[in-house]
Structure 1
Amino acid sequence: MNTEEIAKTSPDIVIVAETHADIAARETLLDRAMGPKRRKKSSEKLRRGRRPSEGLAFVARDEAGAVVGTVRLWDVRLGEGGPAALLLGPLAVDPAVKSAGIGSALMRHAVAEAGRLGHRAVLLVGDAPYYARFGFDADKTGQLSMPGPYERERFLALELVAGALDDARGVLKAAGRKLKSERTRLAA
């Protein structure tokens, strides 16, 4: 499925490519779901000043068209001059509709699209029991690290291509498209 197609998660929810018009709703949702400390996380250091990876920013909409979920993937390098990978996050669902399968649907859609677009690996910092069902684990992140503080056991990876992380080592580095102005910085 490409990002122009609609993925149905239930009769009332669809997953679509994020648009510029979704920015305010996404930011409000992230604040409500993750709290004010979300901008201080190590993952944020890799996202700051960047745009999501091309074609890998999605929202879930309810039947009224409101944004009830979001996920984005970001281009990173595995160490200085290392191979490319993606950093997933944040994944968030409106607390009013938690446990409806929206987060799982967003994850499946994002990972499938990353694979379809030819990406080789996805990393994230998150709850291992939750992300294990999508194939993420800490086995392949042993020689990698995040910039700044993070909990090692929450640093997880999924190889989309077998062996993609075999020789990966070093600190993750931001890569990909930079934001062009202060106004668009708020869109990240």
Structure 2
Amino acid sequence: MLIRRETPADRSTVYAIHSEAFRREPGVTPIEAPLVDELRADGDLLEALSLVAVRGGEVVGHVCCSRARIGEDTTSAVGLGPLGVLPAHQASGVGSALVHAVLGAADALGYGLVVLLGNPAYYARFGFVTASTLSITAPDPAWSKNFQARTLTGYKPTQAGAFEYAPAFSRI
């Protein structure tokens, strides 16, 4: 499996991946599919942190990070998501490889925190903890147990406060 940066040629495949990975009911496009396009259109998708997984020459997974804010800090944290893998390739290590790769890339780029809304049972294996333990407040109090953060090398304890995703998240 190869993990690489997303290219413009991957965009329709990325949309299809999130459509299939998050489909809840037939004929209804899940919000995660257009979210990536909206983040890109707003200039909030971080190109260096938009990665695809290629297996057998086929793009089978995608993860991205976008600009975020913690308190008044707009440069040290990113929001992870969505993370999607085609159903036929789920539970085969694709998602884990994408998360490891995006965390390593975010760390290398100097970010201090990666924040996400997701299943703690899945993300704990990557070092994510409940964000409130780091004094990071979720945009919605109902998210508290699923709202998580992962510190990176550039983390400083002053990176705390109310978390805010890129505006596209509020529009979905």
Q: What is the TM-score of this pair, normalised by structure 1?
A: 0.73
Q: How many angstroms apart in 2 are the aligned matches of 1:14 and 1:82?
A: 31
Contact 2:115 2:148 in 1 (8 A): yes
Paired residues for 1:55-70 under 5 Å? 55-63=48-56, 65-70=57-62
Q: How many angstroms apart in 2 are the aligned matches of 1:101 and 1:27?
A: 20
Paired residues for 1:62-101 under 5 Å? 62-63=55-56, 65-81=57-73, 84-101=76-93
Please list the CA deviations of residues 95-128 of structure 1 after superposition, one character each: whole Å capped at 9, or x if unmatched. 0111110100111111011111111110000000
Q: Counterpart of 1:53 in 2: which secondary structure?
A: strand
Partner of 2:99: 107
- Kindly indicate which of the two structures has a greater share of residues assigned to helix: 2
Q: How many angstroms apart in 2 are the aligned matches of 1:155 and 1:135?
A: 13
Q: How many angstroms apart in 1 are the aligned matches of 2:128 and 2:19?
A: 25
Partner of 1:168: 160
RMSD: 2.8
Q: How many angstroms apart in 2 are the aligned matches of 1:82 and 1:52?
A: 14
Partner of 1:19: 7
Identity of aligned residues (%): 31
Contact 1:78 1:169 in 2 (8 A): yes
Contact 1:140 1:166 in 2 (8 A): no
- State the Cα distance separating 1:161 from its structure 2 match: 3.0
Partner of 2:122: 130
- Kindly indicate which of the two structures has a greater share of residues assigned to strand: 2
Structure 1 residues 88, 99: closer, same or farther in 2, change over 3 A?
A: same
Structure 1 residues 118, 34: closer, same or farther in 2, change over 3 A?
A: same
- State the Cα distance separating 1:152 from its structure 2 match: 1.5
Q: How many angstroms apart in 2 are the aligned matches of 1:119 and 1:71?
A: 17
Structure 1 residues 134, 95: closer, same or farther in 2, change over 3 A?
A: same
Q: How many angstroms apart in 1 are the aligned matches of 2:7 and 2:47?
A: 12
- More displaced stretch, 94-103 vs 46-55: 46-55
- State the Cα distance separating 1:142 from its structure 2 match: 4.5
Structure 1 residues 149, 26: closer, same or farther in 2, change over 3 A?
A: farther
What are structure 2's unaligned runs of at least 5 residues? Answer: 24-28
Contact 2:70 2:159 in 1 (8 A): no
Q: What is the TM-score of this pair, normalised by structure 2?
A: 0.80
Bigger relative contact order, structure 1 or 2 (CA pairs below 8 A, ≥6 apart): 1
- State the Cα distance separating 1:143 from its structure 2 match: 3.9
Q: How many angstroms apart in 1 are the aligned matches of 2:117 and 2:80?
A: 8
Contact 2:113 2:152 in 1 (8 A): yes
- State the Cα distance separating 1:66 from its structure 2 match: 1.7
How many residue pairs get aligned? The number is 159
Partner of 1:30: 18
Contact 2:18 2:32 in 1 (8 A): no
